[in-house]
């Protein structure tokens, strides 16, 4: 339903319009002069202004037009003019008024003008919305493409996927917790793509990247003049996500003020833009994610408990990769396939030794780190197989460091080769550094590399 602001100093005229427009299904708000009208604009969501030209001030309507064009450029203004003020009204249309109507007029003629103006406004709004939406969706597009498969047969991951299928059917708020790189964003997108909202926007907001204040305006938008750089009004991500899903990434990082505002959106689906006071209502599903321990933040008092309960309706915990190592081989081959166009078409296999390294590694950066490691290995490898020397995995993080307490000389040789490779990878194949790590001279390292048949994957002949 559209809301029309009727501005006229004569109460009787306002009453008539109130009745007629009300009958045609419009919400009508009345104002007796331009000052009162500006108040109404601040506190309500107005779709069209119908104003007298001459009020207490002889050009009160023109003044209101100017203010509207400046602060609410998308709200159409139709002027009602008496014969004497027609020249003013004509000029006003040149200055940006949508239209004018001369008194006395038939209500039907007025209705045609109103409908036309509203239709036009609707198209413009839709266009603006689509432009903004496009911009944001372009960012998301690569993610959408990625979604086709969430890899992992482990019970831990399968349990998560079962939960996602269930929660996708609902509108409940979801909180995804997990270490960095465990796939929180991927899972959030999967929930959206499997929900009834899948054809509506999935809008992401990274709460950690914006400075305080900026985040508020990113989320809720701002009115013109809300702060120094707010040259024009702007929709926030909540408005853009209307009908769809908003993904609040790193929610543990938001300020108390924004927490409070979020709480209100969760409670009443209503908020105001920064610098504005008219309430905006949206229908948005909230999925939040964090790699912090929110429960602890609540205990410490840095995160509101009431907000935590609102968000954490369905908690999803993504286990770190090292707790589901059985997924690693599938993930490795998934990334080889995924990256084959981008990095190298040659790589087809992973040697058993390399796979063993990958399976036993700590993966503090979880799946993202695994993906990057595979990408690097594909760049390094010359043949069609990823070998241990293509994996620059840091020595400290390899578990199963099975240093033999006793053993054959052959085992010692193997261990030596392993330590040399690790040192080289750790130092990005800069031999001087690697020798330092190993506590040997560079010349000794050269000799040992030759003995073990280790060649550098990069051209280090100048080194």
Ligand X SMILES: Nc1ncnc2c1ncn2[C@@H]1O[C@H](COP(=O)(O)OP(=O)(O)OP(=O)(O)O)[C@@H](O)[C@H]1O
Q: Would you tell me which residues interact with ligand X (CB under 6 A)?
A: 146, 150-152, 178, 180-186, 291, 334, 367-368, 371
Q: Is 5 helix (H, G, I), strand (E, B) or coil?
A: strand
Q: Is 240 helix (H, G, I), strand (E, B) or coil?
A: helix
Residue 164 binds which one of ligand X, Mg ion, none, with CB within 5 to 8 A depending on kind? none
Q: Which is nearer to Mg ion, 34 or 185 (CB)?
A: 185
Distance CA 281, CA 243 (A): 11
Q: Which of 362, 380, 326, 396 is nearest to 388 (CA)?
A: 380
Residue 183 binds which one of ligand X, Mg ion, none, with CB within 5 to 8 A depending on kind? ligand X
Provide the residue count of the chain: 463
* Given 98, 185, 216, 371, the residue binding Mg ion (CB under 5 A): 185
Q: Which window, 9-17, 25-33, 178-186, 331-339, contacts Mg ion (CB under 5 A)?
A: 178-186
Distance CA 210, CA 30 (A): 40
Q: Which of 333, 336, 288, 314 is nearest to 152 (CA)?
A: 333
Residue 371 binds which one of Mg ion, ligand X, none, with CB within 5 to 8 A depending on kind? ligand X
Quote the least distance from Cβ 393 to Mg ion, whole Å: 23
Q: Which is nearer to ligand X, 152 or 457 (CB)?
A: 152
Quote the least distance from Cβ 320 to ligand X, whole Å: 10
Quote the least distance from Cβ 321 to ligand X, whole Å: 9
Torsions phi, psi for 408 (to 5 deg)? -80, 160
179 binds Mg ion (CB under 5 A): no
Considering only residues 438 to 457 of the shown chain, the ones binding Mg ion according to CB under 5 A are none
Distance CA 385, CA 309 (A): 49
User: With left for phi above 0 and alpha for psi between -120 and 50, is residue 275 left, alpha or beta?
Assistant: left
Residue 367 binds which one of Mg ion, ligand X, none, with CB within 5 to 8 A depending on kind? ligand X
Residues in the interface with Mg ion (CB under 5 A) total 1
Using the structure block, give the residue that is written with the tokens 């709460």.
207
253 binds Mg ion (CB under 5 A): no
Q: Which is nearer to ligand X, 55 or 188 (CB)?
A: 188
What is the rounded (10 degree) CA torsion for 229, 231, 237, 239?
150
Quote the least distance from Cβ 195 to ligand X, whole Å: 17
Distance CA 144, CA 292 (A): 26
Q: Which is nearer to ligand X, 181 or 276 (CB)?
A: 181
Binding site for Mg ion (CB under 5 A): 185
């Amino acid at each position: 339903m559209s809301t029309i602001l009727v501005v006229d100093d004569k109460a009787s005229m306002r009453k008539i319009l109130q009745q007629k427009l009300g009958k045609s299904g419009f919400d009508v708000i009345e104002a007796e002069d331009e000052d009162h009208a500006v108040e109404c604009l601040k506190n309500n969501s107005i779709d069209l202004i119908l104003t007298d030209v001459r009020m207490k001030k002889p050009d009160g309507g023109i003044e209101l037009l100017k203010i509207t064009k400046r602060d609410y450029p998308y709200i159409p203004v139709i002027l009602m003019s008496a014969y004497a003020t027609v020249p003013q009204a004509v000029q006003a249309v040149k200055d940006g008024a949508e239209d004018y109507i001369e008194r006395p007029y038939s209500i039907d003629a007025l209705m045609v003008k109103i409908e036309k103006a509203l239709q036009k406004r609707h198209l413009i709004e839709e266009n603006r919305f689509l432009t903004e939406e496009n911009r944001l969706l372009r960012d998301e597009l690569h993610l959408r493409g990625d979604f086709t498969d969430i890899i992992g047969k482990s019970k831990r991951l399968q349990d998560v996927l079962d939960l996602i299928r269930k929660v996708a059917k609902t509108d409940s708020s979801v909180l995804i917790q997990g270490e960095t790189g465990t796939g929180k964003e991927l899972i959030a997108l999967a929930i959206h793509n499997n929900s009834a909202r899948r054809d509506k926007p999935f809008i992401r907001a990274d709460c950690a990247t914006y400075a305080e204040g900026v985040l508020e305006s990113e989320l809720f938008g701002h009115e013109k003049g809300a702060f120094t750089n707010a040259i024009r009004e702007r929709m926030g991500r909540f408005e853009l996500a209307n009908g769809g899903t908003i993904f609040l990434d790193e929610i543990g990082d938001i300020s108390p003020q924004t927490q409070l505002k979020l709480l209100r959106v969760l409670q009443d689906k209503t908020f105001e833009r920064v610098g504005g006071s008219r309430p905006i209502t949206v229908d948005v599903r909230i999925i939040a994610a964090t790699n912090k321990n929110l429960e602890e933040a609540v205990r410490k008092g840095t995160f509101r408990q009431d907000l935590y309960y609102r968000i954490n309706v369905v908690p999803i915990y993504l286990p770190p990769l090292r707790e589901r190592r059985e997924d690693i081989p599938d993930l490795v081959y998934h990334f080889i396939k995924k990256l084959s166009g981008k990095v190298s078409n040659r790589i087809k296999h992973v040697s058993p030794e390399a796979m063993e390294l990958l399976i036993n590694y700590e993966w503090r950066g979880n799946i993202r780190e695994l993906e990057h490691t595979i990408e690097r290995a594909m760049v390094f490898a010359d043949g069609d197989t990823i070998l241990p020397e293509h994996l620059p995995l840091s020595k400290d993080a390899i578990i199963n460091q099975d240093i033999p307490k006793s053993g054959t000389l052959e085992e010692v040789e193997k261990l030596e080769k392993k330590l040399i490779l690790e040192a080289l990878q750790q130092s990005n194949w800069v031999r001087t550094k690697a020798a330092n790590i190993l506590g040997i001279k560079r010349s000794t390292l050269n000799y040992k590399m030759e003995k073990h048949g280790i060649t550098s994957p990069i051209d280090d002949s100048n080194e």
